[in-house]
Amino acid sequence: MTLLRLALLSLLCAAGMTHAAPPARVVGLGGAITEIVYALDAGGTLVGADSSSIYPPEALKLPKVGYYRTFSVEGVASLKPNLVLASDQSGPPQAFEQLQRLGSKVVVLPSAPTLAALDQRIVGVAAALDMQARGTALVDRLHAELRELKPPAQRLRVLMVSSHTGKMQAAGEDTAADAMLALAGATNVLAGQTGYKPFSAEAAAALKPDVIVTTTMSVSASGGVDKFLAQPGLNATPAARQKRVIVMDDLLLLGFGPRLPDALRQLQAGFAARPVAAAR
């Protein structure tokens, strides 16, 4: 991130934290950001959120303002928030300036899939809500849970696949998926690749993953787990033959939010599960 970008974020954060009183009308832009508000027991302040804000169930009832990367300024403004909490991937870029001109304070939080950035997200949201003590307690509890996690006995080779549109994409480095695998003690079979990229049936078969990890949306788009694993390429992998597939909620797996310890426990439990005998 450039110095200019860092300076901009600092200015926006400073602008958002000069409340004379705790904010009463808050809009969350980014599923993990909204989830942090609820984790701080401040869900009652939320008057709206973006479409990626799907947890907890109460978030589904909030008025939606579009997807956070391309949210509707008019939609946010219509909710008359005095605070907007946003992922630094929210946009378009000029939208924050428009919201500030309309009288809303804006706090922009880092979205990087790292523990340090997660701490900053929690502390930043808590400070904006004038709940610093709750933020500190949440960070301390999260790290205590993470310290209790033990690395798996065997470091498995894992393929993380997304297939929302019917075309498979696999996660390489510099992704939340790769960061999750590293924290869970697994090896990403596509560690030499950067970002999400399409891959061929031949490439999938050659990778020979022990386990495949994917999301509920990807499985639903494929018509179920069996059809997902039957896709060309995946069906030739050891993981598919033994039905070693871990399916997790999209936001839990990739959101890098306050449920991170839960996500890692689910991953590790999946890694420890016994392989299903291959059909003859």
Rounded to an integer, the average pLDDT of 251-269 is: 96
Mean pLDDT is lowest, of 17-26, 153-162, 188-197, 253-262, for 17-26
What's phi and psi for 246, nearest 5 deg? -110, 120
161-200 per-position pLDDT tens digit: 988 776 789 999 999 999 999 999 999 999 889 999 887 7
Please provide the average confidence, as pLDDT, over all residues in the chain.
89
Residue 279's pLDDT band, with cuts at 50, 70 and 90, is very low
Report how many helices (DSSP H) and strands (DSSP E) the chain contains, helices first.
13, 10
If DSSP states are collapsed to H, E and C, what string results for 12-74? HHHHHCCCCCCCCCEEEECHHHHHHHHHCCCHHHEEEECCCCCCCHHHHHCCECCCHHHCCHH
What's the pLDDT score for residue 20? 53
pLDDT of 205 above 60? yes
Is residue 23 over pLDDT 90? no
The angle subtended at Cα 51 by Cα 45 and Cα 56, nearest 5°, is: 55
Res 3 pLDDT > 80: no
Question: In this model, does residue 18 exceed pLDDT 70?
Answer: no
* Domains (range + CATH), the chain: 3-147 (3.40.50.1980), 157-272 (3.40.50.1980)
**pLDDT higher than threshold 80 for residue 266:** yes
Residue 225 has pLDDT above 80, yes or no: yes
Most confident of 10-19, 76-85, 190-199: 76-85
The pTM for the full model equals 0.87
Q: Which residues pair with 85 in a beta bridge?
A: 28, 107
Mean local confidence (pLDDT), 27-55: 97
Residues linked to residue 248 through DSSP beta bridges, in sequence order: 215
Query: Kindly report the CA angle at 170 between 167 and 173, in degrees rounded to 5?
Result: 150
